[in-house]
Structure 1
Amino acid sequence: MTNYPRDEFDRVPEFSTRVGSHHAHGWAQSAAAKGKDSKLRWVVLTAIAVLLIGGVGFFYGPSIADRLSGSESTQNTEATATETSQSLSAEPSESATPSSTIDDADVLYGQLIGVYNGASIAGTAGAGEELLTEAEFTNIVTDNWTRDAETSTVYYMSEAYRTTAEKAAEVLGIDEVLQTQNIPNRVTVVLGADDTLNSK
């Protein structure tokens, strides 16, 4: 057997933890690949879950919202109906007629009152005279007004005839009562186009 001189390769320790470089590299690649696969798997699963939730919301969300809004509108309708019925039941069955604020003792029922037709409808002044007569006015004259009047008005000359004018307006359903000197009678009723006496 040939004896060769010992060199550096003959001085290998008996026990060593060193392994071949190809083994170490292979283990590192395997571990890295497993780590990447695990992370990728969780990313894919999360993406799938998000897509499923989004799809369910897209297809079923509007119908759920409609059902919720429908139930709310039904509740609102029922509440409104209940409030309406309660308000109607709270109202009296017969409407109370407002009492007159005019003191009849101050009304001059014998005072001359002129009733004039300013509506250009035949019989208007006569209808006013009839109502005033029924209200116990005794001195009434009728005629046509000099021009057409849009609004029915009762005029009086002075404060002494104000109550009488207001009573005549109340009887005839007239809202406008004015004081003026430019009238033919101390109390003058002009029935205008808004008058509804002939329709009663």
Structure 2
Amino acid sequence: MTNYPRDEFDRVPEFNTRVGSHHAHGWAQSAAAKSAGGSLRWVIIAAVSVLIIGAISFFVFNQQPASPTATEPTATTTASEETSSSPTPSETEEPSPSFSIDESEVLYGQRVGIYNASGIRGSAGTAQEQLVEEGFTNLRTGDWSRLETESAVYYASNAYEMTAQKTAAALGIEAVLQTSNIPDRISIVIGSDVTEEQ
């Protein structure tokens, strides 16, 4: 037995629960690390799953149905513009070859558009002169966008029917039709049939 002086390491209590420092990093720490790592792994998996489900839901349920193409309103023309297309008369309306005209309902001051669709220069002007002789005072002329073989008088509503009938009678036009697809309340399209008779 040696005679070295006693130090702190020689004064170890008889009953001590302390374990060596190597035990603190042994199985207890390993078990704690495994437990924490396992929990973290499940948290990451759950988060990724939520993100994937959210992305799928966004793309699948957030798609809007294709909206139908809206029909464009019919544009009216000014005195310097050509009429874009022929009007589409109401299917219920039929030409009225014989019509009793009530003169008290004829609007001689109503603006009436006269459009040349015959391809012959001056046809609209000739029709304008005939209507002036009948007493109409608010007339304008222009060119139709395409040639027409048959002349027609179009009116926008029932309020202008008698006036349209009067202009048709003055010009010898049989087709008088109601439609909203016209540039004026009353629009007269002069076709080649009228110019052939002149």
Give TM-score, length-normalised by structure 2. 0.49
Pick the structure with greater CA Rg.
1
Kindly indicate whether structure 1 or structure 2 has the higher relative contact order, using CA contacts under 8 Å at least 6 residues apart. Answer: 2
More helix per residue: 1 or 2? 1
Give TM-score, length-normalised by structure 1. 0.48
